[in-house]
């Protein structure tokens, strides 16, 4: 595939891995967090960890939109879809399986009679509302800065067209407050357990917000940030740039993803977002808790298209399992395997906490792609003697 294969090339990766191995200081350890689920996915999917020197550790951050979505918000959508037969509830594919209260998810609510549909874009949801004038189409909007402008656009479009049967449950969250929350967390400062040398900054989010928002933060916390694309070679190159910053005592914002990210981002998209959406005073993040000024709500001028106002929806927080370590894992203080629930009661089929919900979450990524590393596996091909007494399923 053009413009993609170049960023997944095995020979280039080997070269980059060798260069990285030469450059790292063998006398120290490096711990970097990739904030974005997209990077977590790339690292797991392509086995990037195997190409890194042993003293470079990657910590999977909270940048997976379905992972940080609190159960109470999904409950809200399910409640609405089940209570009102006129409602068609639409959302993105990986939102539909998020487990909510009472053993439900949007998919399971569908099996109980709710009209739940998967859409590929906010525009699809709007088009559905136009096609089905007798129904109430509610778009359950989620995501970081990347998916926010399309939501703002359809809200504006609905208002312009006076479309009375369309509304949005807005769950959009912001990246910078989450990064700050990780560095400010009491667990991190109290225990000194958080050892983070730098961040790989988001790819798609940064195309919208630019690289500027990370500058104050890099300076204040003295942590380097390298914005990187979502391809595995992007990630490796970003790690190399982070290593160089750490070794030379720098804490700057650098941009590896120059083919898409500029310092000021996309001002047009930012303008549409601020016209339609405003900061919420606070918002609950699954795994990180309530964070001030970390999410967006629909402005009062667009209230007729705000499903929360239109249907009088109430948010009720739902705590995660007490033994769940997601909070510590999202902050990089613990590893998935440090959690008692991991792989026993908490699996991708039955997630107990945010990190197991989507394959981009730290726990699910490790479970799906990496758990073979936890057990000593005797991987041999032809050299192993065939065992006639092998167990069969």
Partner 1 sequence: MNTVKTGYVRPLDLRKGRVDLGFGAGGRAMAQLISELFLRAFANDWLARGDDGAVLPAPAAGERLVMATDAHVVSPLFFPGGDIGSLSVHGTVNDLAVMGARPLYLAASFILEEGYALADLARIVESMAAAARTAGVAVVTGDTKVVEQGKGDGVFITTTGVGALPAGRDPGGARARPGDVVLVSGRIGDHGMAIMAQRESLAFDSEIVSDSAALHDLVEALYAAVPAEAVRVLRDPTRGGLATTLNEIAAQSGVGMELDEAAIPVSAQVQAACELLGLDPLYVANEGKLVVLCAPEHAGAALAALRAHPLGTEAARIGCATADPQHFVQLRTGLGGRRMVDWIAGEQLPRIC
Instruction: Indicate which single residue of 73, 239, 358, 361 sits in contact with partner 1 (rule: CB under 8 A).
Output: 358
Least distance in angstroms from the C-beta of 37 to partner 1: 6
Q: Determine whether 117 is exposed, middle or buried from the number of CB atoms within 10 Å of its CB (0-12, 13-18, 19+).
A: middle
The answer to the question of residue 266 lying near partner 1 (CB under 8 A) is: no
The answer to the question of residue 132 lying near partner 1 (CB under 8 A) is: no
The answer to the question of residue 199 lying near partner 1 (CB under 8 A) is: no
* Alpha carbons within 13 A on the beta-carbon side of 171: 28
Instruction: Indicate which single residue of 53, 201, 232, 265 sits in contact with partner 1 (rule: CB under 8 A).
Output: 232
Q: In whole angstroms, what is the distance from residue 158 CA to residue 288 CA?
A: 33
Least distance in angstroms from the C-beta of 113 to partner 1: 14
Cα 286 versus chain centre, distance = 11
Under rule CB under 8 A, which residues in 54-93 are in contact with partner 1? 65-66, 92-93
Instruction: Indicate which single residue of 50, 134, 190, 300 sits in contact with partner 1 (rule: CB under 8 A).
Output: 50
The answer to the question of residue 134 lying near partner 1 (CB under 8 A) is: no
Identify which range of 43-51, 213-221, 265-273, 284-292 contacts partner 1 by CB under 8 A.
Answer: 43-51
Closer CB to partner 1, 158 or 233, in the complex: 233
Neighbour order of strands in the sheet with 136-143: 115-118, 87-91, 136-143, 166-172
- Interface residues with partner 1 (CB under 8 A) are 1, 4, 8-10, 13-14, 17, 36-38, 41, 44-51, 65-66, 92-97, 107, 118-120, 124, 142-144, 146-147, 204, 230, 232-233, 347-349, 358-360, 367-372, 375, 377-387, 390-393
């Amino acid at each position: 595939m053009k413009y993609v294969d170049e960023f997944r090339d095995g020979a280039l990766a080997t070269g980059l891995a060798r260069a990285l191995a030469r450059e790292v200081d063998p006398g120290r350890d490096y711990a970097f967090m990739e904030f974005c689920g997209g990077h977590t996915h790339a690292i797991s999917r392509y086995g990037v960890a195997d190409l890194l020197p042993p003293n470079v550790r990657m910590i999977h951050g909270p940048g997976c939109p379905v992972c940080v979505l609190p159960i109470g918000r999904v409950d809200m959508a399910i409640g609405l879809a089940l209570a009102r037969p006129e409602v068609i509830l639409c959302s993105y594919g990986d939102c539909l399986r998020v487990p909510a209260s009472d053993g439900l998810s949007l998919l399971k609510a569908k099996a109980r009679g709710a009209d739940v549909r998967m859409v590929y874009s906010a525009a699809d949801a709007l088009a559905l509302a136009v096609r089905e004038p007798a129904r109430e189409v509610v778009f359950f909007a989620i995501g970081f800065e990347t998916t926010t402008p399309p939501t703002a656009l359809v809200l504006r479009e609905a208002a312009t067209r006076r479309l009375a049967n369309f509304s949005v449950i807005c769950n959009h969250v912001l990246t910078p407050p989450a990064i700050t929350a990780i560095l400010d967390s009491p667990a991190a400062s109290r225990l000194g357990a958080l050892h983070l040398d730098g961040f790989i900054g988001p790819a798609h989010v940064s195309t919208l917000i630019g690289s500027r928002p990370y500058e104050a933060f890099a300076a204040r916390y003295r942590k380097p940030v390298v914005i990187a694309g979502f391809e595995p070679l992007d990630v490796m190159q970003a790690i190399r740039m982070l290593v160089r910053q750490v070794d030379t005592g720098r804490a700057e914002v650098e941009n590896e993803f120059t083919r898409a990210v500029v310092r000021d981002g996309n001002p047009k998209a930012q303008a549409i977002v601020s016209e339609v959406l405003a900061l919420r005073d606070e918002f609950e993040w699954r795994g990180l808790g309530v964070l001030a000024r970390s999410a967006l709500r629909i402005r009062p001028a667009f209230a007729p298209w705000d499903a929360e106002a239109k249907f009088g929806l109430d948010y009720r927080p739902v705590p995660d399992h007490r033994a769940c370590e997601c909070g510590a894992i999202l902050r990089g203080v613990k590893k998935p395997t440090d959690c008692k629930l991991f792989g026993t009661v908490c699996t991708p089929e039955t997630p107990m906490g945010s990190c197991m919900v989507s394959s981009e979450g730290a726990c699910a990524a490790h479970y799906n792609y990496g758990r073979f590393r936890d057990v000593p596996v005797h991987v041999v091909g032809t050299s192993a003697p065939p065992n006639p007494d092998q167990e069969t399923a």
